[in-house]
Structure 1
């Protein structure tokens, strides 16, 4: 995947920031994994699924702080498997967003732990969680601002936030984000220009256009939580809308209620002045990842949910999970046989393995293609490699008696020109049998 290739390239060095519009924490973790397991997809996959496992585990812990029934805790923990943007992209396409999801649920756990015990340890933990969240992805601010605003609006939480001990949390937070913030002051233009190009926020549109953009924003948010939300809207709508007047109200439920109230009010207010940013469904983690917790807080009663609802939830979750895994397996097995391929199953490694050993030995390797370059860094760790003009020396200093130029003719890169060519050729890997 492109994101994995990006990490292989950037995590070759431990820097305060990288030329991608993301904080460096995931790249730092990748760098550490490469030092332990060597550069490659194995280390990145191990890191990714370790973070996913931690996200599920901390969701289980948070659900224990929020809910009274074991049944509700199971639903909350496995709810991610019914959020397609999470369930699908956690296997394909996400790197920083996986760390963001962990940062979000870690921050929830830290805040609720602080509510349970106002100890110095929990204040330090809260600062650490905030630092991890912001250093995972800049969009974490879309989560923490409404969360802190809702917490301050509740007296029991306000006491925790407006407290001398909070400076301990702030100190830990500054220690974590300070070095990167300094780097950001030197490179803010390239980062924020890239973010602005993604979001496409403008104030020039007519009010009707701004309302339309808000509608599209809302639809994308709703799609993010389907089919999980639909299951409980159909089966538990009386509880959800509190027609039975038995909803459990406490400060924790109130925190979630006000979190989403603040988001709704903010969106409506912004619509009066600017068009809502162009938000893809898979970008809604900061706003919608804890939506299942809010929904279950509305639904839970002293009585358990019926067995039929649990059968619906379990059945759809199992079917959905099997479907996703089946498609993923088909992508890398059946897909190539049918001639259907993309970044996920492009036969780069198979093609590179055709290069003769004598050609690779004592050769410096050069390419302009960063995706191809990431594969080179993974495979040829004893060679000096130049990717798009940047030199990576992966081995001890040695004499290179030739330079090997590689490019992918399926991409928009021009065939490189060079003087004193010793030889040139083409490697072709067939994706499927064709006639």
Structure 2
């Protein structure tokens, strides 16, 4: 079964989708006491601000949009976080598929994120802004490798979108585009992309 699940990004993605749906269902049926970040989000989701204390606004804006449509509930707090986590895993796998020759290795790398407690378990409990950072970082890596591989308008737009989301997700994301740009400078072909 593990061999079948890691054969392609699609099968690994379906397995992860089932995992996150199970997380949502379990959290909704468990007692409705809020974790620290959930309580904070239930309060901040009532206001649309430029920043929320020491944190940038991306996650709170997303939560505000969801609560504006659905109203405040455990589901409104849990579903967006799980969607962001699923997309983080998915874009990480897609970035891996761009870099690795074997799609099965990219699928294994995508599933291996579950073994990191900060990415799997702790992100389910708290770490809302870190969840947004994980999403932005995975999207950035995918957009970055796609741009290096196929520099078209869509790739540059995706890279710009990921950078924008990252910068309003967590302030330390600003290091990622700088470091990624420095990392490609030694390669002549990639250096042309950086100067494009």
TM-score range relative to shorter protein: 0.7 to 0.9
Following superposition, the deviation at residue 100 of structure 1 comes to 0.4
Separation of aligned partners in 1, 2:187 and 2:36: 43
- Establish whether residue 38 from structure 1 lines up as the match of residue 71 from structure 2: yes
- Establish whether residue 17 from structure 1 lines up as the match of residue 41 from structure 2: no
Structure 1 segment 86-101 matched on structure 2, within 5 A: 86-101=119-134
State the number of aligned residues. 162
Following superposition, the deviation at residue 158 of structure 1 comes to 1.8
- Establish whether residue 6 from structure 1 lines up as the match of residue 6 from structure 2: no
Q: Indicate the residue corresponding to 1:381 in structure 2.
A: none
Which of 157, 160, 171 lines up with 1:138 in the alignment?
171
Provide, for residues 296-346 of structure 1, a one-character-per-residue CA deviation record: whole Å limited to 9, x for no partner. Answer: xxxxxxxxxxxxxxxxxxxxxxxxxxxxxxxxxxxxxxxxxxxxxxxxxxx
Larger relative helix fraction:
2
Separation of aligned partners in 1, 2:157 and 2:104: 32
Following superposition, the deviation at residue 144 of structure 1 comes to 2.9
Separation of aligned partners in 1, 2:123 and 2:107: 20
TM-score normalised by length of structure 1? 0.36
- Establish whether residue 119 from structure 1 lines up as the match of residue 156 from structure 2: no
Q: Indicate the residue corresponding to 2:143 in structure 1.
A: 110
Q: Indicate the residue corresponding to 2:90 in structure 1.
A: 57
Separation of aligned partners in 2, 1:70 and 1:110: 18
Provide, for residues 237-295 of structure 1, a one-character-per-residue CA deviation record: whole Å limited to 9, x for no partner. Answer: xxxxxxxxxxxxxxxxxxxxxxxxxxxxxxxxxxxxxxxxxxxxxxxxxxxxxxxxxxx
Following superposition, the deviation at residue 155 of structure 1 comes to 2.1
Q: SS of 2:54's equivalent?
A: coil
TM-score normalised by length of structure 2? 0.77
Following superposition, the deviation at residue 82 of structure 1 comes to 1.3
Separation of aligned partners in 1, 2:147 and 2:178: 18
Separation of aligned partners in 2, 1:84 and 1:11: 27
Cα RMSD (Å): 1.4
Q: Indicate the residue corresponding to 2:107 in structure 1.
A: 74
Q: Which structure 1 segments of 5+ residues have no match?
A: 164-435
Separation of aligned partners in 1, 2:63 and 2:173: 20
Separation of aligned partners in 2, 1:161 and 1:47: 34
Provide, for residues 10-65 of structure 1, a one-character-per-residue CA deviation record: whole Å limited to 9, x for no partner. Answer: 221112222x2111010000000101210132111010000011111112211211
Structure index of larger Rg: 1
Q: Which structure 2 segments of 5+ residues have no match?
A: 1-34
Separation of aligned partners in 1, 2:147 and 2:103: 22
Q: SS of 2:125's equivalent?
A: coil
Separation of aligned partners in 2, 1:47 and 1:117: 31
**Which segments of structure 1 move beyond 4 Å, counting only runs of 4 or more?**
none
Provide, for residues 153-193 of structure 1, a one-character-per-residue CA deviation record: whole Å limited to 9, x for no partner. Answer: 32222211212xxxxxxxxxxxxxxxxxxxxxxxxxxxxxx
Structure 1 segment 215-230 matched on structure 2, within 5 A: none
Separation of aligned partners in 2, 1:124 and 1:88: 32
